[in-house]
Amino acid sequence: MPKKVSFDNKKFELFILSEKIEHIVKNLAEKINRDYRNRNPIIYVTLKGAMIFASDLIRELIIDCKIETISAKSYGMGLRSSGNIEIKEDEFDLENKDIILVEDIIDSGATAMRLKNFFMSKNPKSFTIVSLLSKPEARIHQVEVKYLGIEIPNRFVIGYGLDYAEFGRNLPDIYILIQ
């Protein structure tokens, strides 16, 4: 894999190798398999950022589960969260269901909070969040992430589903913006 990548004058360097990501994902799946044994959760994948993470995570799950997607846009084309979170509604009969929301990264926490409020309003039996990454220093909205992969500094990252202006999602490793 390249040590550095760049997209319109923004330079990023290699930060988390795919081998390490794989290890983190397997650990998270193990916990979910243990906690959800004999339950049939509905797993909501937050598009688009979490799709790569979710596809690896889901294939490690040995519980019987359903997969759904939900769309929540916040960054738009920039490096900062717009704070403007759009939820695309589909079909949501979630009463008495166990919901697991899959996120790529928790930054300010606004998206996760917004989605949590949305799901809680559907009266599920339970609601938990799994996120690959978290930037604790950036947190404004406190939201519990029961299954967290790894904490990272308050810097912009791309790869493994995460984008900068829609680029970089296909990188197998995670890269960090060079300041």
Residue 81 to residue 124: CA distance in whole angstroms: 28
Between 75 and 94, how does the x/- string for binding to ligand IMP read (CB under 6 A)? x-----x-------------
CA distance 110 to 83: 7
The answer to whether residue 108 forms part of the interface with ligand IMP (CB under 6 A) is yes
What minimum distance in Å lies between the beta carbon of 15 and Mg ion? 17
Show Cβ contacts of residue 20 under 8 Å, excluding neighbours closer than 6 positions: none
Dihedral sign (CA 164, 154, 13, 151): negative
Binding characters for ligand IMP, 37-76, by CB under 6 A (x = yes): ------------x------------------------xx-
Q: What is the Cα–Cα distance from 71 to 82, expressed in whole angstroms? A: 15
Classify residue 167 by its DSSP letter: B
With CB under 6 A as the contact rule, the residue among 52, 57, 110, 148 that binds ligand IMP is 110
Question: CA-CA distance, 123 to 40, in Å (whole number)?
Answer: 16
Q: Which two tokens stand for residue 42?
A: 């509905």
Residue 107, contacted partner among Mg ion, ligand IMP, none, CB below 5-8 A by kind: ligand IMP
Q: Which residue is nearest to Mg ion (CB)?
A: 75
Question: Which 115-174 positions form the footprint of ligand IMP (CB under 6 A)?
Answer: 156-158, 162-163
| Greatest Cα-to-Cα distance within the chain, rounded to the nearest angstrom | 50
Size of the site for Mg ion (CB under 5 A): 2
Residues that bind ligand IMP (CB under 6 A): 49, 74-75, 81, 103-112, 156-158, 162-163
| Catalytic residue IDs | 107
